Amino acid sequence: MKYLISGRNGQLAQAFMRVFERKSIDFIALDKEKLDITNTGNVDEVVSNYKPDVILNCAAYNLVDQAEQHHIKAFAVNAEGPKNLALAAWREKAVLVHFGSDYVFDGKKEGGLYTEEDMVNPLSQYGKSKFAGEEEVRRCCPEFLIFRSSWIYEKANRILLIS
């Protein structure tokens, strides 16, 4: 199995890289300069050249407060980027693993954790951009996983997604 990781310099990508290196898993992790997920041609070229079995989308615009003023950039990275990766994954028959956010919910649920059956209602531009990305992944790629979390951290070389 070959893995392609976007967002090389981010916390999540760095955690995957440490785990993959320790387990001798075949991967390539690229930063924005080598894999700009907002650039369709760049994504197509990288994915078709590397031919991954799995694409881990660790790239994101995660400046939640700044997304209100910079919503165009947030949507480019969080919605158009996943769409580009999803289409490239579909063409190469790869699985796309996308990391969403609990910001797709409004926080009004009483009792219990959110599930995939719960209605989304993003209140911020950030949440709306993350939900738009999830929708693009669902629409464009038949083989995908979407993880929604509120916090991601690494402990003892394990990646933990907190809901």
Active-site entry in 3, 50, 126, 153:
126
Parallel, antiparallel or unpaired: strands 151-155 and 158-162? antiparallel
| 112: region left, alpha or beta (phi > 0 left; psi from -120 to 50 alpha) | left
Parallel, antiparallel or unpaired: strands 54-57 and 144-147? unpaired
Active site residue 103: no
Residue of 94, 101, 80, 81 lying closest to 27 (CA atoms): 94
DSSP 8-class letter at 96: E
Classify residue 134 as exposed, middle or buried by CB count within 10 Å of its CB (0-12, 13-18, 19+).
buried
Q: Known catalytic residues?
A: 126
